[in-house]
Amino acid sequence: MHPVSVSFQASTAAPAHKPFPRCTGGGSPLNFAKFPRIGRNCGSLVMSCKPDPASGSETSGGGDFTVGEKDAVIIVDHGSRRQESNLMLNDFVAMFRARTGYKIVEPAHMELAEPTIKDAFGKCVQQGASRVIVSPYFLSPGRHWKQDIPALAADASKEHSNIPYVVTAPLGLHELMVDIMNDRIKYCLRHVAGDVEECTVCTGTGKCRLYS
């Protein structure tokens, strides 16, 4: 089965029966000591540096393109030999599920670790998914997004030929990414100054320190 060719934009809208708050801006500062949050409460995953005004805002959505109860989202990272890195994806998936209210959300690693994309695809179908949305937890649209992830998704779909799927854009360029990086920089500087503990990303590594 080949990837479905559709124009897809993830929306911040939840299923109609269970709406969730939209981003209002001016949220409280991120607390990296608790967990590695991802900025203000916005859910758009399809991003570029030059949005088309005719299609609407990328963060507000240009139409009623919602993730329904029978849709499943697979969030795919690269995968690592370092188990702590792989477990962090589970934390992000839990955050994503809680914030969006989506019923079926599964983690997957492109390589080096389990669950694989095929594993996650199967779990989504077992939970009743009628469409699978594969969302790369990658920054840039490189070879993994262009070739590897679509190939793995196509292979996973062979066992479920009646289930359509789509591979969305990676995180890419988005103004909220500026906020995330700035928050990381500020928190690390506070840690270097002895004002706060290590964030959950750096805990136990001793990497966040001033070198000379």
Residue 56 domain-assigned (yes or no): yes
pLDDT at 123: 98
Residue 53 domain-assigned (yes or no): yes
Low-confidence spans in the chain with pLDDT less than 50? 1-57
Residue 198 domain-assigned (yes or no): no
Annotate 31-78 with DSSP letters as a single string. Answer: -TTT----SSS-------SS--GGG--TTT-SS-----TTEEEEEEE-
Residue 163 domain-assigned (yes or no): yes
Return the SS3 of 87: helix
Residue 27 domain-assigned (yes or no): yes
**Whether the Cβ atoms of residue 67 and residue 10 lie closer than 8 Å to each other:** yes
Number of structural domains (the chain) is 1
CATH code (residue 69): 3.40.50.1400
**Whether the Cβ atoms of residue 211 and residue 45 lie closer than 8 Å to each other:** no
pLDDT at 156: 97
The pTM for the full model equals: 0.68
pLDDT at 193: 92
Residue 50 domain-assigned (yes or no): yes
| Residue % of the chain over a pLDDT of 70 | 70
Q: For residue 86, give every residue at least 6 positions away whose Cβ sits within 8 Å of its Cβ, in sequence order, or none.
A: 77, 79, 80, 109, 113
Residue 115 domain-assigned (yes or no): yes
Residue 204 domain-assigned (yes or no): no
What domain range includes position 83?
1-175
